[in-house]
Chains A and B, each alone.
Chain A
Amino acid sequence: MPQPRFDRLSERLLHAGIAPRHVRRYARELGDHFDDLVREERAAGAARELAETRALSRLGNDDALAGAMLSRPELRSLTSRYPWAVFGIAPLVIPLLSAVVALYFEIWFITHVHGLFTYLTGQPPGPVTAKLATRVFTAYNTLAVYVVPLLFAWAFAWLGARQRMAPAWIVTGVALICVLGGFQELVFYDKGYVGGGVLSFQSGLLYFAPRTGWLYSPHPHFVAEFARAAMNLAIAGGVWWWFTARKKTSSAMRLHTARM
C-alpha cells in the first residue's frame, strides 16, 4: 500500500478543514481499495510494479481524490468551520461551566453525606467532621482550579493540532483557558455549626465589590490568581515548546535515516 501517498493526501485534507475522522477513514478505505486493485491486476497477469501503477491510475490522482472530498463542505469539521466559536468562545465558557459542575458536585455530596450521617448517628455532623470535610474539599477545590484548566488547555491544543489549525487559533484558545482558569477560585469551609460554612465560586476577573459598587475591583487573591494564570501559561508554553522541539528532532532523524 503506498501509505506516504495517502499521508500527503490526508495532510492536505486536514489543512483544508475536513474532519479528522473522515480523513482517517478515507485514507484507510483508499489503502484497502488500492490493495484490491493490485490483487485484481496481478490476477490478470500484470507484474507487481505495473499492477501498482494501474491501481493508482484507477484510483484517481491526488487532485481528483482531494477534490472529491473538498467538494463536500458537510464533511468539514466544526473546528474548521467555526474556529472563532471553538477557540474564542468555548474557552470563555468552559472554565465557568467546569466550576459550576464542580460546585454542583460538592453541594450534592455535602447534602447526601450530611443526610446519611444524620440518619446513621441520629445527630448532625459536628466540628470534627466539619474539619475533615473542609480538608477534603479544599484538596478537591485545589485540584479543580490547578489541574482542570491545564487539562482543558491540553484538550484545546490537541483539538487544534489534530485539525492542523493555524497556531494563532490554538494559542488563543489555550491562553484564554490558562488565564480564565487561573483566576478562578473555589472555596469551601465548614466550622461545624449552622451558618458557619461557605461554599463559593469566584473569579478574580469578574469580581463584584459590594462596598464600592463597581463591577470590577481588585480581588482579594488577585496576586495569587495572577501567579496561577502565569504558571498555567508557562506550563502550557513549555509543553508546546517541548512537543515542537521533539517533532522537529524526529523529522530530522527520519530525513537523516532516509538519506543514509
Chain B
Amino acid sequence: MATNPSFMNGVPELLILRTLEAGEMYGYELVQAIRTKTNQAISLGEGVVYPALHALERESMLKSRRKLVNGRTRVYYSVTRKGEKHLAGLVRHWQHITGAIGLAIGGTAHAATAL
C-alpha cells in the first residue's frame, strides 16, 4: 500500500522503537522485522530507515555499537531507557488516534492493539 508521507509523521519512530524493543538489530534486519510485523502494509524505501535511526540515536533514544558478524562490521541499534519511555508515549498517542478513527468510521476502537 502506498503511504501518505504527511500522515506518517512519527510512525517510523514508533515502528523502529517497538521493533527494537525485542532486541538489538542492524538496519537490514530491522527493516525485514518491520515488514513482517506490519504484514507489509507500510511501504517505504528501505534506505529511509537510517536517517530515523540516526535521529533517534542523537536524541539518546537508541544506542548503537559496531559488531563483527561473518567478517562484516554491522551497526547494531538498541533502545535506551529514554527510548522506552518515549515509545510508551507514542503507543498511547497512536492508540488514541486509531481508536478515534475507528469510532469515526463506524467501527470499534480496537485497531491499535495490533502494534
Contacts and interface: CB of A to CB of B under 8 A. Distances in A.
Nearest to B58: A74
A69 B50 CA distance: 8
Interface stretch (B40-48, B86-94, B96-104): B40-48
In which size bucket is the chain B interface? 10 to 19
Nearest to B55: A72
Given A29-B50, A65-B45, A37 B75 contact: no
Contacts of A111: none
In which size bucket is the chain A interface? 20 to 34
Interface string A45-83: 000000000000011110011011101101100000000
Dominant SS among interface residues on chain A: helix
B45 A64 contact: yes
Contacts of B45: 58-61, 64-65, 68
Contacts of B71: none
Contact of A25 (B26, B48, B54): B54
Given A29-B50, A32-B72, A64-B47, A37 B28 contact: yes
Contacts, number: 64
A32 B72 CA distance: 9
A60 B46 CA distance: 6
A22 B48 contact: no
B46 A33 contact: yes
15 contacts: A26-B54, A30-B50, A32-B27, A32-B28, A33-B31, A33-B46, A37-B28, A60-B44, A64-B45, A68-B45, A69-B50, A71-B51, A72-B55, A75-B54, A75-B55
Interface of A: 22, 25-26, 29-30, 32-33, 36-37, 58-61, 64-65, 67-69, 71-72, 74-75
The 7 A-B pairs of least Cβ separation, nearest first, read: A60-B45, A68-B48, A36-B28, A59-B47, A60-B47, A68-B51, A64-B45
